[in-house]
Amino acid sequence: MNDENLREIYKTLQMSQDKYTYFILATTIASVGFTITQTQDIIFSLSLIPLGISILCWGFSFFFGCRNREYCNSTLYANFELLKVQMGDTRN
């Protein structure tokens, strides 16, 4: 396999992973939003504790999903800047 084929496979894999991550983030937000709209008029009871725990877990999932995207973007930016330096391009 030549470098161009490997690069194309890598791009396709990266795009697929990005789409999957964004899908999971959107599902998380939709789940929290749906839960909030369906439970606005319900009086608090002990039976709602599992629902509260699930919303908390969805919130953590969203937070860490966003952190993952930030980490990936900063890593890609750092790699891009390193490649520019290696090629001798120091312009911003």
Give the model confidence (pLDDT) of 12-25 as tens digits: 888 888 899 889 88
Q: Are 84 and 90 in contact (CB under 8 A)?
A: yes
Dist. CA 79–CA 14, nearest whole Å: 15
Dist. CA 15–CA 62, nearest whole Å: 19
- pLDDT of res. 90: 67
What values do phi and psi take at 74, rounded to 5?
-70, -35
Residue 1 has pLDDT above 70, yes or no: no
Query: Measuring CA to CA, which residue among 1, 2, 62 is closest to residue 29?
Result: 62
92 or 33: which leads in pLDDT = 33
Between helices 3-38 and 49-86, what is the axis angle to 10°?
150
Dist. CA 34–CA 36, nearest whole Å: 5
